[in-house]
Amino acid sequence: MLTHFIVLPGLYFVFAEVDRLRVHAEPAVAVLTMQQEGRTLVSLPPLEFQLSISPHCAASGRPESLSITIADTQKTLRGEDLPSTTTIDLSMRVPASQLAPFALREFCADPASEGESLMLTAALAAQVSLRCIRGEEQSIVFAAQPLDIRLECTPSSAESEAELERD
């Protein structure tokens, strides 16, 4: 393990190279149709999350596995399946059945709100773990990334058909 020492009068710092894991996620987009007025709980459709993960095993270690969990959706990449690039880009689809309804008062309930969008920040979280191996030793690093959801309001298909008939 590579270690650096910095010595200042009365202060001692030790910096060691460590296993690390960085995660970045783009907001998922959920397209909603007009809701009934007065309805506050909205069920979301399936969501697709785009993740960029940068795993690093220190001191000649190599990645043994990378696991990602969002809601009850899990994906695991084994050592031989992990690309040798420094950043792994992948997408994860979370089924609607794994998403709790959100309380959204007055969003997408009025035809005037067509085309409106709303950002739900930290609505879900991605839990990521990296297992590194060095000979007989193993280590695990964890990271959590809040996930945002952008809601977009569109007219319901019945409203769209009625507008087309009027034109």
Is the pTM here over 0.85, yes or no?
A: no
Does residue 134 sit within a domain?
yes
Does residue 74 sit within a domain?
yes
- pLDDT tens, position by position, 57-99: 888 888 999 999 999 999 999 988 887 778 999 999 999 999 9
Domains of the chain: total? 1
DSSP E strands in the chain: the ranges are 3-8, 11-16, 20-26, 28-33, 41-42, 47-56, 62-70, 73-78, 88-94, 102-103, 117-134, 137-154
Does residue 2 sit within a domain?
no
- pLDDT tens, position by position, 102-154: 888 777 877 766 778 999 999 999 999 999 998 889 999 999 999 999 999 88
Domain extent for 121: 19-156
Does residue 128 sit within a domain?
yes
Does residue 36 sit within a domain?
yes
CATH number assigned to the domain comprising residue 114: 2.60.40
Does residue 14 sit within a domain?
no
